[in-house]
Amino acid sequence: MKAEIRKQAQTLGFDACQFTSAEPPPHSEQFQQWLVGGKHGEMQYLHRNSFKRVAPDRVLPGARSIITLATSYSRGSDDQELDHSIGGSRDCRESAGVVARYARFSDYHDIIGERLKELAAYVTQLAGGSRSLWYVDTGPLLERDLAQRAGLGFIGKHTNLISRTLGNWIFISEIITTLELPPDAPERNRCGTCVRCLTACPTAAITAPFELDARRCISYLTIELKGSIPVEFRRAIGNRIYGCDDCLAVCPWNRFAREGSLMKSHRRPELDQVELLELLSLDDTAFKKRFAGSPILRTKRRGLLRNVCVALGNVADESALPALQRMLLEPEPLIQEHAYWAIQEIERRTALTTAAESPS
């Protein structure tokens, strides 16, 4: 039966399919300690359903097995050309903002969800009377923990899942089912002495191997955080306007990354680089039209323009000042605040440059 499920998963476009039991995840206690330490920031949903995350049978009563799946969003040989982010303290004259690689496609929740729904129905058909639930980064499961126990990959020091055959440019999804299936062997950690991801993190969010303080993470700050970005992290954000890939991009296991078939046709090339000043001109209607079907809609206009202002503050020159000054008239206080910060940063850099260029 596992072979049939794997074959169907491959037919539907998944790049890997592994199986584990519905027993509690191995790192349940560490997860609870992480929450107690407040390292989840404002992601209160993690706290609210934590009792389910540590006990899959609370998600689906009678659960016996979990099918874990990987979908590659690598772009193969193009991967190296996608690193456009600029370190926050560099005095660069750039007009483009950087979007995390996973968001340069149509929303993966919808794309993978359609295929998962089909696969879950297939599993139910194989074993009449069984029940299943499927999730794409949306369910109360410690999915990376379960994926490692299923042998799908191993959790790296950056706390993301790494596949020996796909690298770490992968989406994880799962089907939890009352059907009992023999579990696969777990994967062991294969990071060795490598600490590239820790060194690469612009905000030192990876506080130790396998430990992430989300409150410092640029992905959290630009996506999950709904209010003001703490001033101490703004320069480190550079020209990133939605997420950050730095810890993933340096992983040496990416030499095995390969382009997946499922996501390939859903690329959004216009998101490889986006013009920062153009984004400032978007009203709410234009924002929704511009990013329809994209994960970027999650930030809403106020969140994205907050991020754009920070990016301009880090990389723009005086030519961006008129647009930023217009943002001071915005009815949204969040945008006003970050536009004011950006103006101050540009004026500070301009003054330093002028002083350096002046004759002694």
Element (H, E) at 18: strand 16-21
Give me the helices (H) in 103-245, please. 108-126, 143-150, 196-200, 218-219, 231-237
Angle (deg, nearest 10), helices 333-357 and 300-315 = 10
Which candidate in 137, 184, 272, 317 is catalytic? 137
Q: Catalytic annotation on 137?
A: yes
Strand partners, 66: 20, 176
H or E stretch covering 288: helix 284-290
* Cβ contacts of 345 within 8 Å, gap of 6 or more: 235, 313, 314
Dist CA 314 CA 96 (whole Å): 12
Q: Extract the tokens encoding 49.
A: 């359903």
CB proximity list for 339: less than 8 A, separation 6 or greater:
309, 324, 325, 327, 328, 330
**CA end-to-end span of the chain, whole Å?**
80
The answer to whether 17 touches 68, Cβ cutoff 8 Å, is: yes
Q: Which two tokens stand for residue 164?
A: 């020996």
Quote the CA–CA distance of 115 and 260 in Å, as a whole number.
14
Which of the residues are catalytic? 137
